[in-house]
Amino acid sequence: MTLLDHQRAQERTEAAEAHQKDEKHGLLITKKDAKAKPPCPPTKKLRSQAFVLDQMRHSMKFFSPERAIDESGGYFHFFAADGSIFDADTKVLVTQARFIFSLSVAAEHLKDPKYLKAVEHGVSWLATGPLRNKANGAYHWALKDGKPTSSKIFTYGLAQCLLAYAAALRAGCKAAAPYLNETWETLETRLFVERDGLYAEEASSDWKIDKYRSESGNLHMTEALIACYEATSDQKFLDRALLVADRICNKAAGQTQGLVWEHFDETWTANLEFDNDNEALKIFRPWGFQPDPVPGHQVEWARFLLTIDRHCKAAGQARWWLLPKARFLFDVATDKAWDDEFGGLCYSIDLDGAVCNGDKIFWVQCESIGTAAMLASTTGEDKYWQIYDKLWRYSWDKWVDHEHGSWFRRMNREHVPYFTEKTKLSLCVDPDFHMLGAYAGCLTFMNDAGVA
């Protein structure tokens, strides 16, 4: 056994000993009590760029290059609550791509060269390593011990790859440029359906397209296309982002009272009775509005619409509908899904605005924080700063892991955690991708508005 192997084995043992099973609730809890929470900063500090940068550092304290880099290739993907690695042998496409994105945003905003070095390491492995499916030009969905466990092709996964390469290039990793172009061309020829102006969601490994359609893959394509435009200034990426956003947020959402539904058939007719029986995909395809907590994708779309609006205005191509639609999606989500009794935004709502599932999940809260700051900076309306303040105070109390860094992941309505790991297969594959994206949006729009 090598020294590294011994260290990993010890980390797994310590992680296992640090947790015990709560037989009554079926939940994992830690034996060690968390350190006392520091007081939430005052309003003036909460609304500052310095505070947002501190929260970026807090995320990267946990998902640091020193901890995350796997010298044998890529990054480690599965971390216990304290940061120890509990599964060094499983690699997931989405996690690898999201790591690159998070580290790229850190490289841009935190100005430490170690982040760019980590990005370059991750790009090389994503582009040329065992996640690549050399037989079809795409990527495997997941690996175990270096071997593929699933090779089905998802627009969601390719969108994450496109975003990773674009964010890396934007941060200064020039080696990402050819892979950005290659991924764009693959999506363009294989999964973009011109008559719809949208992307199909999935295909077999021999590129046979399934009839299922999803807003989720198109949402992340929009995010990736925005990043491509920011990295290259190529107008085709902004044009496509605008087209996809219009088709989802206006045309498709016209079937569901203006809100973005998640599941559709081949004709882009909303499937209101969708039932996902694939356990591995439930975090991406649950019932109801969006994958995971319902307000999340309304709010995330609002963030991207605001960003597109900013770029269109700068290019002299303003579109009247972008800001009003962003406000509508954000306002409905944060109003209807807010839990007045326990706090936080709930998992899902129905078309009448009633809460279907009161569970809470971290990324919905942080996405809403970012979008609230962007709306406040864009509109000048204090109500959005008040929502921002409320979400931060709630999240500071319930979600921020003040001891280890990053945030906790998923809890029931009363904020009892379902698991304590920061990343966990089929339950959370996010190395603070949502946080870093939301914080970057905060900083950009605060800067535009002259908020120091």
Q: What is the mean pLDDT of each run of 10 residues along the chain (452 residues)?
A: 41 41 39 70 98 98 98 97 97 98 98 98 98 97 96 97 98 98 98 98 96 95 98 98 98 94 94 60 43 72 98 97 98 96 93 89 97 98 98 98 97 97 95 98 98 94
Cα gap 192→155, rounded to integer Å:
9
Question: How many Cβ atoms are within 10 Å of 381's Cβ, its own excluded?
Answer: 12
pLDDT at 14 (0 to 100): 41
Given 58, 109, 121, 297, the catalytic residue = 297
Q: Which residues in 86-115 are b (16+ Cβ under 10 Å) and which e?
A: bbbeebbbbbbbbbbbbbbbbbbbeeeebb
Question: How many Cβ atoms are within 10 Å of 40's Cβ, its own excluded?
Answer: 16
Specify the 3-state DSSP secondary structure of 163. helix
Cα gap 371→348, rounded to integer Å:
19
Of the candidates 117, 222, 92, the residue with the CA atom closest to the CA atom of residue 175: 117
* pTM for this model (two decimals): 0.90
Total length of the chain: 452
pLDDT at 131 (0 to 100): 98
pLDDT at 113 (0 to 100): 98
Given 109, 263, 311, 434, the catalytic residue = 434
Annotated catalytic residue 220 = no
- DSSP characters over 251-300: IGGGGTTTSPPSEE-TT--B-TT-----GGGTTTS-SSSSSSSHHHHHHH
Question: How many Cβ atoms are within 10 Å of 280's Cβ, its own excluded?
Answer: 14
pLDDT at 328 (0 to 100): 97
Of the candidates 306, 293, 305, the residue with the CA atom closest to the CA atom of residue 337: 293
Q: Which helix (H) or strand (E) holds 147?
A: strand 147-150
Specify the 3-state DSSP secondary structure of 139. strand
pLDDT at 15 (0 to 100): 40
Q: Extract the runs of DSSP E, i.e. beta strands, from 309-407.
A: 348-349, 355-357, 360-361
Would you state the structure tokens that stand for residue 403, as one six-digit string?
């001891």
Would you state the structure tokens that stand for residue 263, as one six-digit string?
């599941």
Of the candidates 174, 52, 30, the residue with the CA atom closest to the CA atom of residue 106: 52
pLDDT at 274 (0 to 100): 61
Amino acid letter, residue 320: W
Annotated catalytic residue 297 = yes
Query: Domain boundaries in the chain?
Result: 41-448
Specify the 3-state DSSP secondary structure of 369. helix
pLDDT at 272 (0 to 100): 81
Cα gap 75→69, rounded to integer Å:
4
Of the candidate CATH numbers 1.50.10.10, 1.20.1530.20, 3.40.50.10540, 1.10.1060.10, the domain formed by 41-448 belongs to 1.50.10.10
pLDDT at 287 (0 to 100): 39
**What crossing angle do the helices spanning 177-190 and 113-128 adopt, rounded to 10°?**
40
Cα gap 395→344, rounded to integer Å:
8
Of the candidates 215, 214, 198, 126, the residue with the CA atom closest to the CA atom of residue 167: 126
pLDDT at 159 (0 to 100): 98
Would you state the structure tokens that stand for residue 262, as one six-digit string?
């998640």
Q: How far is CA 407 from CA 61, 96, 333, 393, in A?
A: 11, 19, 22, 14
Question: How many Cβ atoms are within 10 Å of 54's Cβ, its own excluded?
Answer: 13
Of the candidates 151, 130, 31, the residue with the CA atom closest to the CA atom of residue 80: 31
